[in-house]
Structure 1
Amino acid sequence: MQSGATFSYQTRPQLDAGQEAALTAYAALYGRVERSLFAAMQTKASMNDLKRQFLLKYGITARQFNAIRVGLEGKIDSIKARRPELIGELQSRIKKAQKTIQKIQERLETLRKPEAAFKKGKTVKTLSPEDRALAISKAAFKLHQKKRRLHILQTKLAAMQTDQKDGHVRLCFGSKKLFHSQFDLEANGYADKSAWKADWQAERNSQVFILGSQDETAGNQSCPAVVAADGTLTLDLRMPNACEADHGKRVQIAGVRFAYGHDKIVAALASSQRIAAKTKKGADTIKRIGSALSYRFVRDAKGWRIFVSCSVPAAALSTRQDLGAIGVDINANHLAVSILDRFGNAAKHLRIDTHTYGKSSDQAKAIIGDAAVKIVAMAATSGKPVVVENLNFAKKKAELEGARRAMARMLSSFACNQVIASIKAAAFRAGVQVIEVNPAYR
């Protein structure tokens, strides 16, 4: 198992009006700088030159600029890494759509013949003129819609391939879904354009990322945390220079406690210490070591949430392969679990439902997370490792064209990678080994 991993924990703090106003002002500035930096990066200007310009222009510190840069580069790298997979998926969908169109066209040709017949099972029934006209109408409508869909897919593919060739990245700050909702205000619950614009601006200015470093006080000099006598945390947030006049240089948020991972965060804070060291030239010096803690403040419909990311050491391994294994077969709406004895014989089978269609992203994560915890708990109790297939559902999702509606919805809402990631995370915390196997050799 790996020696350590980065985990994120979240909580919802109790904020007063002044603290909320300060975070709102910080987020508005953060969003404006992030969008401006993204635009400036398209000019291929030196990042050092941009940094000097932005520090003066927007009144931010060097660490705050670095946090914005790192967050933005992460988004860009994510798009670039995902794009080849999306291109392959689009190509597969186009092939599938073309085959579906060909079948519909053949069906139409048959229906338009005077002797058109309808085959159901082993019986063949000649269609009446009325039934044939209705069948032709339905098939023609379906053909039209499939051709429209094919054109959309081909247009998307062409644009994506051009971006891939040119190295161009498109980013919509505020989400594409919310952006497109302005074109049908009533259907999306907006009385007028101004109501939509208020939501749009709020969404674009709804978060702040504070980058941590292991050589900084408490793992983050821009937001150091102190453990209070009652065990809660007090965050000391450094405001941008541009916000100091209205909100002061620092904003303290006391009474912060995390329902999950609080002990891990406290341990990471305790690891920060100063030690004697040597410079490259051999001179004596003092440096700080510890664990980096990065913070993200995110505003949603209920208020502000605080996310903390820190490194967590791996738990001691508690499973052995010679005891058997717990095999997990990942399906679109459930996990099929097989408990194997040390000889490889199946001792027990069970099914864990993971219906995520129609659920919000948070609800889907909770469903998958609960399933992962249940599987890992069985593994920890029995001392057996978990075996999962190294699957890629991109091909399955590419076959959505022409699939039954129920199956298409189910596959579209399914997140195979999230299931595997949740199992790995739960196993890491419990000291359970996870073995990934190629499904072709199971």
Structure 2
Amino acid sequence: MPARRWRRPGTADQGKPLRTIDPPFVALGPSGIAIRARLKHLTVEDEKVLRAVGAHLGSLASKDLKRRCADGLDHSTDAWAERKRSLTQESSSRWAGSITKATHDQWAFSRRAQFAHIQSLEAGVRTIAHRLSLPVGEKGGKRAPGGYRTRREWFAKTRRLHLLEERLIRERADREAGRVRVARGGRGLLNTRHNLEAAGLTEASWRERWEAERWFLAADGESGKRFGNETIRVTPDGEVSLKLPAPLAYLANAKHGRYVLVGTVAFHHRGDEWADRVSANRAVAYRIHDDVERGRWYLTASWTIPPALTVSLAEARSGGLIGVDTNADHLAAWRLDAHGNPCGEPRRFFYDLSGTAQHRDAQVRHVLTRLLHWAARHNLSIAVEDLDFQAEKTREKHGRRKRFRKLISGMPVARLRARLVSMAAELGITIVAVDPAYTSMWGAQHWQKPLTSKTRKTTRHDAASVAIGRRALGHRIRRRTAPPPQHQRDTAGHRTAQAGRGTRGREETRPRVPGPRTRPVLPDAERTRATSASTTVRDAPVAQVWVQGSLLLTD
């Protein structure tokens, strides 16, 4: 879709160029599935063995991650093979393969996070340097911030600029050298150790959580092997067994150095799919996790699937769709037909993102379920914005607008987008992603007032959902386009699609002009009008209607 130019009302001669708007596209479905179930009825001996295996493999994973970080950019397949051979001696070949793969993925993820951090620092340095170059108190605009308000703030920002530049230099040096900083167990939980009172934890409880997070009890699946996994094996009946590492082989209670748990597992969600894969000996990866806070053990099964088959963009647009605008406390949605016209009433799906992470996640899932069920009833696609607020959360850009930064940071954009795609694939609903540029501004300009009536108050977010839906359908956001100059009666005059009712030259039906008209009527029209009584009370006398009589034809 080409770039468009928008002129604000009253500034017809001062148009600002807009950035290129990316065309809409159909979002791809998920490429993997993960299900979780609780390990029930575990004995004391079962928990003892799981803790021993997790602690032993966790220490090996920590050593392997240290070696991988030390290799940096000099890592090669030979170094990977050497690390795996050294781990095999203390565990097994399959456990070593799972550990080295997890280490490689964690190092790559840290590199991506490091690059994102460098980009954030560069953006902060540019913003502060720009604002410091302006006079104190100079106002800014929508596209660029102005100068700082006071000399005191200006001086404080000069010190912060030096701090950010120092951090940027250090991060760039680490990236060039291939160094990453990783904390197994999570940096958030690590920093909690220094604030136990604020977190409501004791040192013993924190230590228990820290050790549980650093355990390693994960095994990759293998196609063709019995039940899809030789390391952690789960039978269709729910029996769980695991291959013990060589130093812990004395704990085995079954053949070939295996330990069979007394507790069983049952997958209720997608259990049939899991059972089909296990029965056919297809690869299934497992992970055992100890939830210290609840005192429960969980087993997570995961496997890859081919990307969900998506329909073409034309098919997704065929019957109309639902435009959805994402906000901090609700989703604003409106149904549109194939021509881009709003149908019915707007819908708003509210959620509360306060509280714990589990509560926020449940709120997101609940609101998406209601939205998807509405779309499934009407067999419609859903259009959403391809939002990314990573560049909008910096305090260097928004300065003292702490409430606005908190508002943006609280919007569950990434989590909502990931869950929406995965949940929509289950119901066979197509997701169309659009460019979020100017949707709120143009929606409010062209749609908020026309869609507002005495019985319906249209918000800015409702109008934005209409704009998102129209962009997904391939239509312009504005309602209609003015005709070409050669087709206008006023010869390139003031007539537009948004002209008022009293504007001359407006395209509408002719108003009825009261009074006599000279037009042909039926022969008995005069008799009908003379005999019929008027039921309308008029203050003024009714005008006489002239009727032309029939002509006398003579030879």
What TM-score range do you get, normalising by the shorter chain? 0.7 to 0.9
Q: Tell me how far 1:78 sits from its aligned partner.
A: 1.6
In the other structure, the counterpart of 1:260 is 269
Residues 136 and 154 of structure 2 are in contact (CA less than 8 Å); yes or no, is this contact kept in structure 1?
A: no
In the other structure, the counterpart of 1:420 is 417
**Partner Cα separation in structure 1 for residue 97 and residue 188 of structure 2:** 29
Alpha-carbon distance change, 188 to 140 in structure 1, aligned in 2, over 3 angstroms? farther
Alpha-carbon distance change, 156 to 243 in structure 1, aligned in 2, over 3 angstroms? farther
In the other structure, the counterpart of 1:89 is 120
Residues 338 and 349 of structure 1 are in contact (CA less than 8 Å); yes or no, is this contact kept in structure 2?
A: yes
**TM-score, normalised with respect to structure 2:** 0.62
Alignment partner of 1:246 out of 251, 260, 269? 251
Alignment partner of 2:323 out of 324, 327, 333? 327
Matched, 1:173 2:184: yes
* Larger proportion of helix: 1
In the other structure, the counterpart of 2:367 is 371
In the other structure, the counterpart of 1:8 is 34
Residues 329 and 336 of structure 1 are in contact (CA less than 8 Å); yes or no, is this contact kept in structure 2?
A: yes
Residues 298 and 306 of structure 1 are in contact (CA less than 8 Å); yes or no, is this contact kept in structure 2?
A: yes
What SS does structure 2 have at the residue aligned with 1:179? helix
Q: 93-102 vs 396-405, which deviates more?
A: 93-102
In the other structure, the counterpart of 2:217 is 208
Q: Tell me how far 1:64 sits from its aligned partner.
A: 0.6
Q: Tell me how far 1:81 sits from its aligned partner.
A: 2.7
Residues 34 and 300 of structure 2 are in contact (CA less than 8 Å); yes or no, is this contact kept in structure 1?
A: yes
Residues 323 and 335 of structure 2 are in contact (CA less than 8 Å); yes or no, is this contact kept in structure 1?
A: yes
In the other structure, the counterpart of 2:350 is 353
Residues 136 and 151 of structure 2 are in contact (CA less than 8 Å); yes or no, is this contact kept in structure 1?
A: no
1:137-167 Cα distance to aligned partner (Å, 9 max, x none): x978867876676555444433322222222
Alignment of 1:15-94 (within 5 A): 15-41=42-68, 42-43=70-71, 44=75, 46-56=79-89, 58=90, 60-94=91-125
CA radius of gyration, larger in: 2
Unaligned runs of 5+ in 2: 1-26, 139-148, 439-470, 472-555
1:4-50 Cα distance to aligned partner (Å, 9 max, x none): 73111112221221111111111111210111001122244712222
Unaligned runs of 5+ in 1: 110-137, 273-289
Alpha-carbon distance change, 150 to 387 in structure 1, aligned in 2, over 3 angstroms? same
Residues 334 and 347 of structure 2 are in contact (CA less than 8 Å); yes or no, is this contact kept in structure 1?
A: yes
What SS does structure 2 have at the residue aligned with 1:227? coil
1:113-151 Cα distance to aligned partner (Å, 9 max, x none): xxxxxxxxxxxxxxxxxxxxxxxxx97886787667655
Alignment partner of 2:392 out of 389, 396, 417? 396
In the other structure, the counterpart of 1:278 is none
1:212-237 Cα distance to aligned partner (Å, 9 max, x none): 12232211111222122xxxx22222
Matched, 1:157 2:184: no
**Partner Cα separation in structure 1 for residue 48 and residue 152 of structure 2:** 54
Alpha-carbon distance change, 4 to 336 in structure 1, aligned in 2, over 3 angstroms? closer
**TM-score, normalised with respect to structure 1:** 0.76
Residues 96 and 401 of structure 1 are in contact (CA less than 8 Å); yes or no, is this contact kept in structure 2?
A: no
What SS does structure 2 have at the residue aligned with 1:370? helix
Q: Tell me how far 1:177 sits from its aligned partner.
A: 2.2
Q: 6-15 vs 183-192, which deviates more?
A: 183-192
- State the Cα RMSD in Å: 3.2
Q: Which amino acid aligns with 1:62?
A: S
Alpha-carbon distance change, 187 to 145 in structure 1, aligned in 2, over 3 angstroms? farther
Q: Which amino acid aligns with 1:384?
A: L
What SS does structure 2 have at the residue aligned with 1:177? helix
Q: 359-368 vs 180-189, which deviates more?
A: 180-189
Residues 394 and 405 of structure 2 are in contact (CA less than 8 Å); yes or no, is this contact kept in structure 1?
A: no
* Larger proportion of strand: 1
Alpha-carbon distance change, 7 to 153 in structure 1, aligned in 2, over 3 angstroms? farther
Residues 71 and 209 of structure 1 are in contact (CA less than 8 Å); yes or no, is this contact kept in structure 2?
A: no
Q: Which amino acid aligns with 2:284?
A: L
Alpha-carbon distance change, 218 to 437 in structure 1, aligned in 2, over 3 angstroms? same
Q: Tell me how far 1:422 sits from its aligned partner.
A: 0.8
1:52-80 Cα distance to aligned partner (Å, 9 max, x none): 22222x2x111111111111211122222
Alpha-carbon distance change, 38 to 321 in structure 1, aligned in 2, over 3 angstroms? same
% same residue: 23
Q: Tell me how far 1:317 sits from its aligned partner.
A: 7.5
Q: Which amino acid aligns with 2:299?
A: I
Instruction: Count residues in correspondence.
Output: 385
Q: Which amino acid aligns with 1:415?
A: P
Matched, 1:234 2:239: yes
Residues 29 and 422 of structure 2 are in contact (CA less than 8 Å); yes or no, is this contact kept in structure 1?
A: no
Alpha-carbon distance change, 78 to 315 in structure 1, aligned in 2, over 3 angstroms? closer
What SS does structure 2 have at the residue aligned with 1:386? strand
Alpha-carbon distance change, 175 to 428 in structure 1, aligned in 2, over 3 angstroms? same
Q: Tell me how far 1:98 sits from its aligned partner.
A: 5.5
In the other structure, the counterpart of 1:296 is 287
Q: 139-148 vs 207-216, which deviates more?
A: 139-148
